[in-house]
């Protein structure tokens, strides 16, 4: 069926649906059984076998595979099997992590579920998009993502971004006109296709295709949808691996040639070269990086932050500017009307929250608001020019819709007005939805008791006053408006931190059944102002204090009035404690538009409050801040926020109020729309980065020490103190049982008291690089020194190697406690604060006992039993390493305190 070439009346008849009633419940069930759910069944992506084989496509793995192959040719079967076993274990770990990552991405799409507005059984409902079926009547608003393929039957200035289907970046203006058959997809202006974006206006249509039968569904059957999980850090590690590959091959070749030229056996020298190569490779590093990042993402999710793009985990640690929306993020999103202004009168309203209980007061005396004509009309305007609903659920009064509109409903209900009763007398005929370009919403109502229909308009004070020429008085008289008086009243209310909306009305001809922006461009009758407050979140106030302490600037960006924005910023601590708010600079959208890019760059660092900001201004603000080298996190929830979210280093979308466009553009989604969650995510990001650095600082000394031992042995012309198979045992067991436990370390004290990390800063500081070389040298000295001592004392090479292996393992074990914090001792951060670390230590000790005393382990790893004196030497080496690093941290901490 070509819906685009079929008239809408004929189409509704064919699909047995109407715009007034929609589908019946019985038809919905029948069609869902016939057509299935509105879900795209993803085509199977990369085959698991290909994913598994991909784990071997790494430079360092090539060395291990070559070593395993050549040792097998030399009939060193145990060494060959162990080396190959390590490669297989690495591949299995990588395979499991990659599969889990792909599943996490798929489940993310399910966790951030999409919904649709439909009419069924004559009632407007909001349902999961997956429940849509053929014939459903769907309503589309600006910011929505089309949930299915829809034939339009009614539009209001509707524009759709179809770039996901056609590649055309300019939004398409839609209509309801019938299109000729065989018209190409890009020219079907009466169709809205699944996953395209509503960028402007509103529309109503019939679902004609769902799931895999949609245009986007057909495309999804031809492509795999898995994201590539590669972060800047993993790219850095990949480059490091390639460099390390060449260095290892070079050193291994030099080791081999030195021995051969000296007359040593080729097989022995090859084994020495293999030992050096195996020892220098940090086999556990890739898995540790992925696991640490995955743990960070999991921790953030528990704190209401869903990370969509893994680079966000790393970038969060260096964020130094947060640009936050006000409503619902810094505040509670429970607006309450507290004041109403009409010409000549000011009223106060008691009560907090959405429960419709409260009194109206004038001059501190209770009044009946319905006795005042203009006050009543102002309340009616707020109630009718409104798309939200107030429902009662077990003594709770949740709002379905916008909190601001909810506050207007509550204020009207407090007066005794009934929305249902008023709509009976004044049914709605048409709507102009709120658009940021116009800053107002308007509704047209049929008035059976009058010769005219009536338009109610609500919006910003500036937009309503600019269109008003008259004002309604309490007496019913309509006179010329005093704009300055209204503006003065608005400013007085705004300085109290109240959000002010203006209301107006316009009588239109009875025959008029639709309205446009041109109809209300002038001659409105001004009714009054309603002023409300959205109380700050207590946790947001604390979070802002924590951000300031952490060296992070917080800037508030809002569409509210300048004075309102500044008052709220003062209440939550974004600006100083001075009572004279006028001394703080506020930049409004009009001024931003007037400034050149360079002028904006010059002042952006010193302005913390931006008011009356349109979404397009946010992009300029982000670019201006980034010009100064700032790492910017930007919040957003609307369609037009997408460019600034994409431009920001961290784009943050609101999970509750955010549009699909914002969520899909963002790096991170706040499931509770709370600013405190941003601060928590930054904190977790710093913790994740710290743990990555801890692991790298812990693992590299071992590789350096092992490579140094082999190189010194070859140069000295003595037997290898540790064999390739023993090196693999050390590297793999310690990386898994010891190193990975660092990923579970809790955040260090004062993590939010230090300045943000610069994005250009290298992973390892000079201090840490020195520490890596010192610890590596101590491990080498301990293992090499004891090996030489044991040989001279007449002990066997097998026993000397067994002790050398234990020196490396226990040296790493003691050093692990140093690496739990890069600055503090483990006693300060809590000896038992990481239970998994102690479990790993205990298992590692048990495995070393088996390595040393179990006969089957002795055969596989060429080890043997050692006595108590040997163990004392092992423990002394570990204690020396721990004491050396501990003393270094102590001295450096004292140095920092004196600076």
Q: How many CB atoms lie within 10 A of CB 492?
A: 16
Question: Distance (Å, rounded) from C-alpha 67 to C-alpha 72?
Answer: 8
Query: Is 325 an active-site residue?
Result: yes
Catalytic residue among 79, 144, 161, 325: 325
Is the CB of residue 864 less than 8 Å from the CB of residue 858?
yes
Phi, psi of 24 (to 5 degrees): -85, 160
Terminal Cα distance for the chain, rounded: 77
Write the secondary structure of 521-566 as one string of H (helix), E (strand) and C (coil): CCCEEEEEEEEEECCECHHHHHHHHHHHHCCCEEEEECCCCHHHHH
Question: Distance (Å, rounded) from C-alpha 198 to C-alpha 160?
Answer: 5
For 326, 576, 743, 767, 824, the CA distances from 675, given in Å and listed in that order, are 9, 19, 26, 35, 30
Residue 554: beta bridge partners?
Answer: 322
Specify the DSSP element, H or E, that contains 115.
strand 115-120
Strands, sheet with 321-325, edge to edge from the N-terminal-most edge strand: 305-307, 668-670, 650-654, 632-636, 321-325, 553-557, 609-611, 586-588
Nearest alpha-carbon partner for 402 in 623, 130, 657, 161: 657
Question: Distance (Å, rounded) from C-alpha 108 to C-alpha 552?
Answer: 29
Sign of CA dihedral 406, 408, 409, 414: positive
Residues in the chain: 899
Phi, psi of 430 (to 5 degrees): -160, 165
Q: Dig out the tokens for 586 from the structure.
A: 């506020």
Nearest alpha-carbon partner for 132 in 144, 638, 670: 144
Nearest alpha-carbon partner for 698 in 820, 804, 784, 810: 820
Is the CB of residue 722 less than 8 Å from the CB of residue 832?
no
Is the CB of residue 668 less than 8 Å from the CB of residue 650?
yes
For 708, 794, 848, the CA distances from 786, given in Å and listed in that order, are 15, 12, 18
605: buried, middle or exposed (CB in 10 Å: 19+, 13-18, 0-12)? middle
Nearest alpha-carbon partner for 306 in 657, 651, 759: 651
Residue 339: beta bridge partners?
Answer: 348, 531
Alpha helices in 18-76 (DSSP H): 25-35, 48-54, 59-73
Question: Distance (Å, rounded) from C-alpha 641 to C-alpha 616?
Answer: 7
Instruction: Let me know the angle formed at the C-alpha of 326 by 345 and 483, rounded to the nearest 5 degrees.
Output: 30
What percent of the residues of the chain are helix, what percent strand, and what percent coil, each to the nearest 5? 50, 20, 30
Concatenated DSSP letters for 334-348? --EEEEEEETTEEEE
396: buried, middle or exposed (CB in 10 Å: 19+, 13-18, 0-12)? exposed
Task: Identify the DSSP state of 330.
Answer: T
Which stretches of 167-320 are assigned E, i.e. beta strand?
Answer: 172-173, 191-192, 197-209, 305-307
Q: Which of 708-743 are b and which e, b meaning 16 or more Cβ less than 10 Å from the residue's Cβ?
A: bbbbebbeeeeebbbbbbbbbbbbbbbbbbbbbbbb
> Which amino acids are annotated catalytic?
325
């Amino acid at each position: 069926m070509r819906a685009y070439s079929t008239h809408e009346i004929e189409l509704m008849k064919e699909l047995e649906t109407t715009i007034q009633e929609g589908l019946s419940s019985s038809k919905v069930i029948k069609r869902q059984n016939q057509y299935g759910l509105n879900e795209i069944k993803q085509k199977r992506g990369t085959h698991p076998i290909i994913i598994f084989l991909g784990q071997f496509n790494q430079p360092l793995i090539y060395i291990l595979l070559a070593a395993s192959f050549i040792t097998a040719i030399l009939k060193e079967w145990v060494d060959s099997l162990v080396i190959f076993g390590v490669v297989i274990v690495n591949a299995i770990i990588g395979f499991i992590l990659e599969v889990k990552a792909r599943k996490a991405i798929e489940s993310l799409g399910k966790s951030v579920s999409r919904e649709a507005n439909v009419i069924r059984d004559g009632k407007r409902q909001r349902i999961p998009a997956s429940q849509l079926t053929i014939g459903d009547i769907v309503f589309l608003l600006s910011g929505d993502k089309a949930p299915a393929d829809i034939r339009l039957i009614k539009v209001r200035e509707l524009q759709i971004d179809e770039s996901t289907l056609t590649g055309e970046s300019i939004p398409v203006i839609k209509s309801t006109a019938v299109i000729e058959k065989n018209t190409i997809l890009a020219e079907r202006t009466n169709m809205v296709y699944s996953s395209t974006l509503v960028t402007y206006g509103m529309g109503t249509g019939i679902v004609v295709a769902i799931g895999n039968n949609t245009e986007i569904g057909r495309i999804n059957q031809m492509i795999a949808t898995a994201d590539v999980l590669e972060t800047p850090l993993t790219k850095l590690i990949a480059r490091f691996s390639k460099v390390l590959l060449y260095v290892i091959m070079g050193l291994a070749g030099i080791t081999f040639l030195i021995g051969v030229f000296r007359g040593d056996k080729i097989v022995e020298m090859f084994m020495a070269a293999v030992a050096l190569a195996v020892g220098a490779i940090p086999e556990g590093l890739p898995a540790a990086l992925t696991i640490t990042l995955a743990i960070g993402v999991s921790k953030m999710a528990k704190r209401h932050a869903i990370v969509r793009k893994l680079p966000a985990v790393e970038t969060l640690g260096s964020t130094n500017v947060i640009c936050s929306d006000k409503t619902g993020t810094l505040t509670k999103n429970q607006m309450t009307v507290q004041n109403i202004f009409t010409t000549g009168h000011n009223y106060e309203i008691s009560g907090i929250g959405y429960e419709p209980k409260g009194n109206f007061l004038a001059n501190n005396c209770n009044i009946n608001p319905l006795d005042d004509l203009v006050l009543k009309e102002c309340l009616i305007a707020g109630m009718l020019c409104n798309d939200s609903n107030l429902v009662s659920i077990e003594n709770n009064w949740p709002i379905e819709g916008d909190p601001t509109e909810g506050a207007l409903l509550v204020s009207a209900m407090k007066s005794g007005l009934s929305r249902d009763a008023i709509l009976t007398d004044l049914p709605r005929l048409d709507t102009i939805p709120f658009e940021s370009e116009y800053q107002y919403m308007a509704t047209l109502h049929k008035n059976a008791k009058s010769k005219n229909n009536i338009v109610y308009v609500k919006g910003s004070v500036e937009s309503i006053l600019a269109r008003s020429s008259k004002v309604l008085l309490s007496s019913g008289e309509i006179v010329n408006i005093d704009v300055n008086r209204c503006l003065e009243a608005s400013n007085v209310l705004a300085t109290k931190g109240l959000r002010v909306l203006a209301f107006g009305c316009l009588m239109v001809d009875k025959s008029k059944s639709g309205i446009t922006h041109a109809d209300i461009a002038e001659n409105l009758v001004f009714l009054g102002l309603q002023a409300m407050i959205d109380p700050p979140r207590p946790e947001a106030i604390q979070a802002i204090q924590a951000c300031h302490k952490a060296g992070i600037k917080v800037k508030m960006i809002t569409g509210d009035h300048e004075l309102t924005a500044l008052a709220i910023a003062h209440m939550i601590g974004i600006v100083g404690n001075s009572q004279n708010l006028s001394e703080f600079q506020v930049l409004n959208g009009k001024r931003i538009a007037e400034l050149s890019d360079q002028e904006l760059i010059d002042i952006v660092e010193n302005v913390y409050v931006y008011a009356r900001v349109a979404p397009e201004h946010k992009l300029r603000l982000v670019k201006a801040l980034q010009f100064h080298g700032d790492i910017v996190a930007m919040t957003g929830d609307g369609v037009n926020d997408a460019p600034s979210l994409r431009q920001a280093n961290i784009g943050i979308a609101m999970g509750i109020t955010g549009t699909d466009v914002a969520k899909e553009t963002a790096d991170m989604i706040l499931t509770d729309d709370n600013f405190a969650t941003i601060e928590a995510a930054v904190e977790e990001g710093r913790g994740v980065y710290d743990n990555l650095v801890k692991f790298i600082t812990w693992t590299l000394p071992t590789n350096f020490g092992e490579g140094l031992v082999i190189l010194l042995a070859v140069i000295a012309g003595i037997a290898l103190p540790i064999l390739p198979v023993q090196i693999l045992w050390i590297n793999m067991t310690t990386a898994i049982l010891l190193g990975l436990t660092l990923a579970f370390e809790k955040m260090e004290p004062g993590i939010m008291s230090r300045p943000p990390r610069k994005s250009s800063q290298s992973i390892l500081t000079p201090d840490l690089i020195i520490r890596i070389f010192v610890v590596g040298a101590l491990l080498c000295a301990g293992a090499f020194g004891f090996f030489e001592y044991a040989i001279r004392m007449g002990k066997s090479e097998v026993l000397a190697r067994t002790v050398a292996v234990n020196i490396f393992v226990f040296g790493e074990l003691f050093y692990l406690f140093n690496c739990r914090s890069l600055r503090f001792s483990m006693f300060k951060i809590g000896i038992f604060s990481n239970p998994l670390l102690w479990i790993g230590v205990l298992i590692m000790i048990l495995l070393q006992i088996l390595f040393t005393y179990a006969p089957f382990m002795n055969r596989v790893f060429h080890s043997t039993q050692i006595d108590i004196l040997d163990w004392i030497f092992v423990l002394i080496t570990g204690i020396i390493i721990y004491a050396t690093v501990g003393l270094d941290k102590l001295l450096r901490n004292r140095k920092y305190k004196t600076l």
